[in-house]
Amino acid sequence: MSTDAIAMPSTAIAPRPIVATLHEWVTTVDHKRLGILYIIYALAFLLIAGVEAMIIRIQLIRPHNNFVSPQEFNRLFTMHGTTMIFFVIMPFMFGFANYLIPLMIGARDMAFPRLNAFSFWMTAFGGLLLYFSVVGANGLYGAGNAPDVGWFAYAPLTSQTFSVGHSTDFWILALLISGFGSIGTAINIIATVLCMRCPGMTLATMPLFAWLNLIMADLVILAVSPLTAAQIMLLIDRYLGGHFFDTQAGGSAVIWMHFFWVFGHPEVYILVLPAFAFASEIIPVFSRKPIFGYSVMVGATIAIGFISMSVWAHHMFTVGMSSAANNFFVISTMAIAVPTGIKIFNWLATMWGGKIEFKTPMLFCIAFLFQFLIAGLTGIMQGAAPFDWHLGNSYFVVAHFHYVIVGGILFCLFGAFYYWFPKMSGKMYSETLGKLHFWIFIIGFHLTFDFMHIPGLLGMPRRIYTYEPGRGWDTWNFIVTIGVFFQAAGILVFLGNLIWSYFRGKAAGSDPWDAWTLEWSTNSPPPAYNFASIPVVKSRRPLWDLKHPNDPDWNYE
């Protein structure tokens, strides 16, 4: 609670005991520290879920492999999916939003600093509870047992009959708890963006980053709540003998699918909108041009927000819905490609004619543009119901959504890491290691996920723990697994770069990229109060106006 704890470290202060530092981090309500906590927490889970993915791929490297048992395989893919979505990407996004939004809109903190801390700890404890199941759940054999019902936990697999013991309950409760945290953060982000902007910053002049995160937070509120409701129903079924998803008593397994995907598809946009936000900040700065079509970008984002609420059942074409429902969801799925396409064109138009600097963040964003385009195209392919009837539940689907999440979202995230690392740590990362990371990772990514489409087209279903030789899948699976090792190497280079640069990197200065948003106007790392005096802005690029007083933006907006 001491005041000098928050003050800028000066050379005179002796190193404080680790307990004091720890206490400071645990009790912090500072949005920057909470943002960093989110990010470090997500990095830890990224490693765990990454190792799970590696084990899955090693098991599938050749037919009839015996690296793990079928039961373990089920647990691995369930934990991999759940962890990556809820405890890696979402905390990453919340972490960056927490750290950057107040800085970008010229505020001293989030709207509700204590709620912010509470939300983070809920998310954190949710993840810990999920992994406590590995030792704590009473499984079928009396030993510890992780959830094994898949990340979307279709009924009736989750009923007491088929899921004995508490492993599924751990899954439900972990998501319920972290869901409360997510809703808390979302409320905080909305209140911050709407109420905490600095003087002069209207909705039409705030950075696109704030806009995209605002829509993301709206989606969290509208999408995570249905998941919470569905989880409560599942708990009632499992603990109180309810019949929501009990087909023996007239309940419906399909309605679980609807409830899950009402959450599940907007969730994809919850994950990808912050990635768009990173790209919308990084691409203009490294193209030395303002973002092309700001208002259209905002409009497209809002359109994505709306349409994403009405596409969920394209995950369910193979269930056998009525043709009217099929038509509706095919059309809405096609429709969402339009605003997304507008965004891609706007980023390209931002780059076009610019003086592009190929720094590591920009490389990741350019790769994102290409890969996200391909991911979107395979998405449209599967958005057509007849095509999906053939490829639903195959490795083609797996390849598609990994293309979105890894090729799109994770690439943007890496770009964001490199772009804002100097701001967060005050140190410059190693450009050599960053480029090395980029090239190793992109090779690994394409080896794995390009070739993963093919066994899917050849009929390989997802979630099988092994397969017969001679179906034409062997070579492809081998290549896919090899790619995973490249990706793992890339991640190690990335982590090495972060750690090395943190301790040995050159001082970055307040504005290493010659950027235009407010976070670059304060020190790196920013002091606890962010801005000694609250800035006043007149345009979308306040730092441009300061740097070019003869040619400010507000004449043109």
Partner 1 sequence: MASETLDLSPETERAKQGTIELPAPTAWPIILAFGLTLVFAGLVTSASVSILGAFFTIAGCVGWFRDVLPQEEHESVPIAGRVPTAETRHPQVAHVEWKTEELQRARLPLEIYPISAGVKGGLAGSVAMAILAVLYGILSGHGVWYPINLLSAGFFPARATTEQLAAIHWDAFIIASIVHVMCSSLVGLLYGVTLPMFPRGPVLFGGLIAPVLWSGLIHIMLEALDPVLKQRIDWGWFVVSQIGFGIVAGVVVSRQVRIRTWQYLPFAVRAGIEAPGTMREKSGRNGEP
Partner 2 sequence: MNATSMTMTEARLEWNPSDRGRVAMLCLIAAEAAIFTIFVVAYVFYLGKSLTGPLPKDVLSVPIVYTICLLSSSLTIHFAAKSLRRGEIKSFGVLWLATITLGAAFLYGTGIEWYRMIYKEGFTISTNLFGTTYYSLVGLHAFHVVVGLLSLSIVMVFTLLGRVRAEHAERIDVLSLYWHFVDAVWIVVFTVVYVIGR
Q: Residue 21 interacts with partner 1 (CB under 8 A)?
A: no
What is the CB neighbour count within 10 angstroms for residue 542? 27
* Partner whose footprint covers residue 262, from partner 1, partner 2, none (CB < 5 to 8 Å by kind): partner 2
How far is residue 32's CA from residue 36's CA, in Å, rounded to a whole number? 6
In the three-class reduction of DSSP (H, G, I as helix; E, B as strand; rest coil), residue 78 is classed as helix
Nearest to residue 366, comparing CAs of 424, 435, 302, 427? 435
- Minimum distance from residue 543 beta carbon to partner 1 (Å): 5
In eight-state DSSP terms, residue 207 is -
How far is residue 31's CA from residue 112's CA, in Å, rounded to a whole number? 10
Site string for partner 1, 208-237 (x = CB under 8 A): ---------------------------x--
Rounded to the nearest 10°, the torsion over CA 345, 346, 347, 353 is 100
Our CA angle for 134, 136, 138, nearest 5°, is 100
Q: For the purposes of burial, counting CB atoms within 10 Å of the CB of 39, is it exposed (0-12), middle (13-18) or buried (19 or more)? A: buried
Which is nearer to partner 1, 496 or 552 (by Cβ)? 552
Site string for partner 1, 98-137 (x = CB under 8 A): ----------xx---xxx-xx--xx-xxx-xx--xx--xx
- Minimum distance from residue 381 beta carbon to partner 1 (Å): 14
- Minimum distance from residue 354 beta carbon to partner 1 (Å): 9
How far is residue 192's CA from residue 540's CA, in Å, rounded to a whole number? 18
How far is residue 342's CA from residue 394's CA, in Å, rounded to a whole number? 30
Q: Residue 202 interacts with partner 1 (CB under 8 A)?
A: no
Q: Residue 6 interacts with partner 1 (CB under 8 A)?
A: yes
Residue from 28, 83, 163, 371 that binds partner 1 (CB under 8 A)?
A: 28
Tokens of 44: 């830890």
- Minimum distance from residue 129 beta carbon to partner 1 (Å): 6
Contact 191, 111 (CB under 8 A): yes
**Which parts of 256-315 interact with partner 1 (CB under 8 A)?**
288, 292
Residue from 100, 103, 177, 193 that binds partner 1 (CB under 8 A)?
A: 177
What is the CB neighbour count within 10 angstroms for residue 164? 13
Cis peptide before 552 (omega within 30 of 0): no
DSSP codes, 140-161 = TTSS-----STTTT-TTTTSTT
Which is nearer to partner 2, 193 or 397 (by Cβ)? 193
**Which parts of 493-532 interact with partner 1 (CB under 8 A)?**
509-511, 514, 521-523, 527-529, 532
- Minimum distance from residue 258 beta carbon to partner 2 (Å): 8
Give the distance from CA 508 to its chain's centroid: 27
Which is nearer to partner 2, 327 or 523 (by Cβ)? 523
Q: Residue 548 interacts with partner 1 (CB under 8 A)?
A: yes
- Minimum distance from residue 512 beta carbon to partner 2 (Å): 15
* Partner whose footprint covers residue 352, from partner 1, partner 2, none (CB < 5 to 8 Å by kind): partner 1
Residue from 166, 314, 343, 359 that binds partner 1 (CB under 8 A)?
A: 166
Residue from 43, 76, 103, 176 that binds partner 1 (CB under 8 A)?
A: 176
* Partner whose footprint covers residue 197, from partner 2, partner 1, none (CB < 5 to 8 Å by kind): partner 2
Which is nearer to partner 1, 114 or 390 (by Cβ)? 114
Which secondary structure element, helix H or strand E, spans residue 280, and what is its range?
helix 253-287
Which is nearer to partner 2, 136 or 426 (by Cβ)? 426
Which is nearer to partner 2, 26 or 534 (by Cβ)? 534
How far is residue 304's CA from residue 112's CA, in Å, rounded to a whole number? 27
Radius of gyration of the chain from Cα atoms?
24
Residue from 147, 179, 181, 407 that binds partner 1 (CB under 8 A)?
A: 181
Q: How distant, in Å, are the alpha carbons of 8, 420, 463 from that of 511?
A: 19, 10, 47
Which is nearer to partner 2, 207 or 226 (by Cβ)? 226
* CA atoms 509, 364, 540, 291: torsion sign: positive
Interaction site with partner 2 (CB under 8 A): 111-112, 115, 183, 186-188, 190-192, 194-197, 199-200, 221-226, 228-230, 232-233, 236-237, 240-244, 249-252, 255, 259, 262, 521, 533, 535-538, 542, 545-549
Contact 218, 187 (CB under 8 A): no
What is the CB neighbour count within 10 angstroms for residue 69? 11
Contacts of 88 (CB under 8 A, 6+ apart): 42, 45, 46, 49
In eight-state DSSP terms, residue 84 is I
Which is nearer to partner 2, 43 or 233 (by Cβ)? 233
* Partner whose footprint covers residue 17, from partner 2, partner 1, none (CB < 5 to 8 Å by kind): none
* Partner whose footprint covers residue 374, from partner 1, partner 2, none (CB < 5 to 8 Å by kind): none
Residue from 16, 29, 54, 229 that binds partner 1 (CB under 8 A)?
A: 29
Q: Where are the alpha helices (DSSP H) in 60-166?
A: 70-82, 90-104, 113-136
507 strand-pairing partners:
427
Q: Residue 205 interacts with partner 1 (CB under 8 A)?
A: no
Which is nearer to partner 1, 30 or 388 (by Cβ)? 30
Which secondary structure element, helix H or strand E, spans residue 419, and what is its range?
helix 411-425
Which residue reads 């993915």 in tokens?
A: 53
Site string for partner 1, 347-366 (x = CB under 8 A): --x--xx-------------
* Partner whose footprint covers residue 251, from partner 1, partner 2, none (CB < 5 to 8 Å by kind): partner 2
* Partner whose footprint covers residue 552, from partner 2, partner 1, none (CB < 5 to 8 Å by kind): partner 1
* Partner whose footprint covers residue 196, from partner 2, partner 1, none (CB < 5 to 8 Å by kind): partner 2
- Minimum distance from residue 191 beta carbon to partner 2 (Å): 4
Give the distance from CA 319 to its chain's centroid: 28
